[in-house]
Structure formats: C-alpha cells, structure tokens
Amino acid sequence: RQVLVLNGPNLGRLGSREPDVYGDTTHAGLAERCRRLGAELGLDVEVRQTDDEAELVGWLHEAADDATPVVLNPAAFTHYSYALRDACAQLRAPLVEVHISNPAAREVFRHTSVVAGVATGTVAGFGPASYDLALRAVADTPS
C-alpha cells in the first residue's frame, strides 16, 4: 500500500531550524525514518517537501485521483490556507495531519488548523515520533 508523506514550508530546514522547537533531526533523517517504519508496517512510503503552496495542492490532487493515504504536515499553511483545506477535502483515503511541535501549546495564531476539520485525525507534539504514530494510524485504518 502506497502512502504519501507531504511536508510543507520550512520543513526542509529541519535540523538547523529552531532546534529548541523542532529538534535536530534533518528532513533527510525524518524521511528515512518514515520509509523504514513504513516498510515494517507494509507501507510503501514516499516523502516529499515543498515550500510552494501550489505544488503541495498539486500533490494532494494526485493523492485524491489515486485514492492514496496521506500523512500531511502543512506547517504554517495549517493555520490559514483554505486552498490546502479544499484540496484535503477531496482526498478519498485516510488523511493524518501531523505536527512535530504541539501548536496548541504555542502562539495563538497556531491554535487554529483549517485542515483539522477535513482530516481523519491529527497527531501533534511528539517530535519525529508524530510521523511514526501517523503511519501506524494509516496502517490500522481501512481506506
């Protein structure tokens, strides 16, 4: 079973970006971790990252057309991108919203997720392990 792990803006800078908030795992390290756990769970995991809203929307269209499950960290788009939400609403397989940090425990502008209402569920606050939990959720959720 194929799964797309999609990471939004600034997540390509993991490792050097605010390590006190996001830890020291790089994006490449995170991607490897996802692929390895995915293989254990019988999932064929592909990890992509972009800073471009249009590119992310395009990947979600692809997942909608192919009925592919998605693990999505929308990063800052979480908080304001209705275009991303509308793209997520078209998905036909499980969608897990993930965050490395716990946005609810941070600045007020991070308390709103425009994606949460169209996600199957959300995992936040566990560092890179948020992705592990999200992949386990996909493996356990029929689509």
Q: Which is nearer to ligand DQA, 46 or 51 (CB)?
A: 51
Out of 31, 100, 119, 137, the residue judged to bind ligand DQA by CB under 6 A: 100
Q: Which is nearer to ligand DQA, 76 or 83 (CB)?
A: 76
101 binds ligand DQA (CB under 6 A): yes
Cα distances (Å, whole numbers) of residue 74 to 10, 42, 82, 115, 134: 10, 25, 12, 8, 14
Out of 25, 73, 81, 122, the residue judged to bind ligand DQA by CB under 6 A: 73
Judged by CB under 6 A, the stretch of 25-33, 34-42, 49-57, 96-104 that binds ligand DQA is 96-104
DSSP state of 124: E
Q: What is the dihedral of CA 22, 28, 33, 36, to 10 degrees?
A: 170
